[in-house]
Amino acid sequence: MPPDEDEELLDATATLQRGRAGQVRMVLRVLSGAEAGKAHPLKQGTYTVGKAPTCDIVLTDKAVSRQHLKLEVHAEHVVATDLGSHNGSFVEGLRFTAMELRPGSVITLGTTELKLVPEDTRERSLPLSSRDRFGALVGTSRKMREAFTVLERLAPGGADVLIHGETGTGKDLCAEAIHQLSPRAKGPFVIVDLAGVPSTLIESELFGHVKGSFTGAQGDRAGAFERAQNGTVFLDEIGELPLDLQPRLLRVLERRQVKRVGGNDYFTVNVRVVAASHVNLEQAVQQGKFRRDLFHRLAVLRVTLPALRERPEDIPLLIDHMLKLMGRQPGALSDQTRALLMQYPWPGNVRELRNVVEQVVNLGEEALPDLEAPQGADGRKGPDLDLPFKEAKEHLIEVFERDYLKNLIERCEGNISRASREADIDRVYLRKLLRKHGLDPSGEP
């Protein structure tokens, strides 16, 4: 398991505390070498890195000098200075004497790789967001509210973001929301779907080209990074980026400099990069399909959008949201249809749910496709088809009612009046239903 995923310990040893002011904003993670997995919190101030036990960050790596590197930690950046080391200090394969580092930079000293990351952004340690939407994404499940917490925190900043999620989980909507809720909202939002561009044209699409640089290049053209100046570039399906272009993207991420295909000059661009992938990029790295350094650089901030089968309690809210977008009332779908939609594991996620809801709303409930109800990932069974029809149907409705009410009451924090308004159910009837399922927050029998 890579150190990023590890239950890494924040190594807040006493040596790091002296003479440093303020909050920990960044962390230096050791990715490889004897100390792999350790994470050193950095406060504003100066740190030395090397083999000598007197260094603030000690690396027991034979190829590291006793006093190898100095790190000056500022509020938003870190300046790294090589202290005349024997084997040198490197970023992105280039040796440096002094260099300004951004979060995500990976420094190599001897055989040890160190990654600078913002303060702990692990989702599991974050509190749950109280919101039920983020941009155009909706959800009240614990998993979605965890994702919203991460998004609320990362959107206003400038760091690059990697979104992971199966197809149809809302990655596009998520990227757009990050842009809209950032100080770059007034700037352009440029989308490049790397799965949709022929591989021979990806380079020009991203970086632009000069006239005559290849057959068909009839004029100069700015690439996505240039077009997104002062805005955001969304690189969808980043796992499709050919290996030979990956170092070029890495350079843009590290230095914000772009050279058009066939051009000689580098342009400096001010862009935020949001990338998305439905494939597991860590696995792609292990299979040699994706560069490790690019992955680490992209994965500075990560957000995962959960599959719909992991959060069936979001289905009623999503259905209501979709009906609203289609200008329909919640009653446009019968309880029976809703119950069926709750049971299905949705391999195509929210997109597939939207398509089915659209189909049923436009063509009538007879048009409901044959949604088999295999056992869900959470172990919930579909309707028992061996029971008499009436009994099977009643059972299904019971399950739906319970799921719907549980979600409703959680969303409304136990407030019956609010729940009755939101669900458009009479208050007395709602209480009766809640009591029937043992969900009445007042606990009255």
Ligand X SMILES: Nc1ncnc2c1ncn2[C@@H]1O[C@H](COP(=O)(O)OP(=O)(O)OP(=O)(O)O)[C@@H](O)[C@H]1O
Question: DSSP letters along 357-387, please?
Answer: HHHHHHH-GGG------PPPTT------TTS
Beta carbon of residue 171, minimum distance to ligand X (angstroms, whole number): 3
Residues 131-160 that bind ligand X (CB under 6 A): 136-139
Beta carbon of residue 193, minimum distance to ligand X (angstroms, whole number): 8
69: contact with ligand X by CB under 6 A: no
Question: How far is the C-alpha of 353 from the C-alpha of 344, rounded, in Å?
Answer: 9
Amino acid at 330: P
360: contact with ligand X by CB under 6 A: no
Binding segment (CB under 6 A) for ligand X, from list 69-77, 109-117, 165-173, 244-252: 165-173
Question: How far is the C-alpha of 85 from the C-alpha of 443, rounded, in Å?
Answer: 69
Question: How far is the C-alpha of 201 from the C-alpha of 209, rounded, in Å?
Answer: 10
Beta carbon of residue 141, minimum distance to ligand X (angstroms, whole number): 10
Burial 187-198 (b: 16+ CB within 10 A, else e): bebbbbebeebe
> Exposure of 288 by Cβ count < 10 A (0-12 exposed, 13-18 middle, 19+ buried)?
exposed
Per CB under 6 A, the list member of 33, 37, 103, 170 interacting with ligand X is: 170
Binding segment (CB under 6 A) for ligand X, from list 31-39, 257-265, 294-302, 347-355: 347-355
Beta carbon of residue 206, minimum distance to ligand X (angstroms, whole number): 18
Spell out, one character per residue from 252 to 291, where the chain touches ligand X: x when CB under 6 A holds, - when not: --------------------------x-------------
350: contact with ligand X by CB under 6 A: yes
Residues 310-329 that bind ligand X (CB under 6 A): 318, 321
25: contact with ligand X by CB under 6 A: no
Q: Which of 289, 197, 279 is nearest to 242 (CA)?
A: 289
Please tell me the count of residues contacting ligand X according to CB under 6 A.
Answer: 18
* Residue whose C-beta lies closest to ligand X: 170
Per CB under 6 A, the list member of 10, 83, 173, 181 interacting with ligand X is: 173
Beta carbon of residue 308, minimum distance to ligand X (angstroms, whole number): 8
Q: Which of 210, 191, 192, 212 is nearest to 202 (CA)?
A: 192
55: contact with ligand X by CB under 6 A: no
CB atoms < 10 A from the CB of 380, how many?
15
* CB-based contacts of 102, cutoff 8 Å, min separation 6: 77, 116, 159, 254
Binding site for ligand X (CB under 6 A): 136-139, 165, 167-173, 278, 318, 321, 350-351, 354
